[in-house]
Amino acid sequence: MRKPRGNLFLGASLVVAGVFLFFLQVQPGWFQSVFGGFYWPFILLGAAVLFWIAGFFNRLPGLIIPGTILAVLGSIFLYQVRTGDWESWAFVWALIPASVGLGMMLGSLLRGIRVMFRIGLWIFVANTILGLALWGIFRAPQALGRFWPLLLVGIGLIFLTNALVQSRKHSN
């Protein structure tokens, strides 16, 4: 059975969205004159805010996750629409699964679910590293010029140091 507060929030959200969209139908130039133009990714960002409000209002961590995914997608698309940098999909797609991990971390804070936080942290970190690695492959050579191989040297040194520390722990 649904909670009355959930129905109240859903009903109020639908009324506000319907009035806003109807107003845009009647006065299409109003939004552009006030906000300087409408970018469709704002729809995703608005939906994200609704999910977050509903999740926090009803203490439902499961709603925080899709809200975070929508926020990341809306942010990616807003960047791409404004800059025309559609080639960024070569590496930015890794932020979508990272947003699942971030949503799990944020949602776990509502109920104090430690295992959900830890899993979310691993998903977030792994996919953020993947995104940075893909950025390094596709964009770093242009951004860093001829010095980008030093980034590989630095990462290699981190792995070597970690391996040496681990081998010393196991030998003791």
> What is the 3-state secondary structure of 73-127?
HHHHHHHHHHHCCHHHHHHHCCHHHHHHHHHHHHHHHHHCCHHHHHHHHHHHHHH
Q: What is the pLDDT of residues 17-55, one digit of tens each?
A: 777 777 666 766 655 555 555 677 888 888 999 899 888
Tokens 């699942």 appear where? 100
Asked if residues 140 and 147 have their Cβ atoms less than 8 Å apart, the reply is no
Question: What is the model's pTM?
Answer: 0.65
Q: What is the pLDDT of residues 51-85, one digit of tens each?
A: 998 888 888 888 999 999 999 999 999 888 888 88
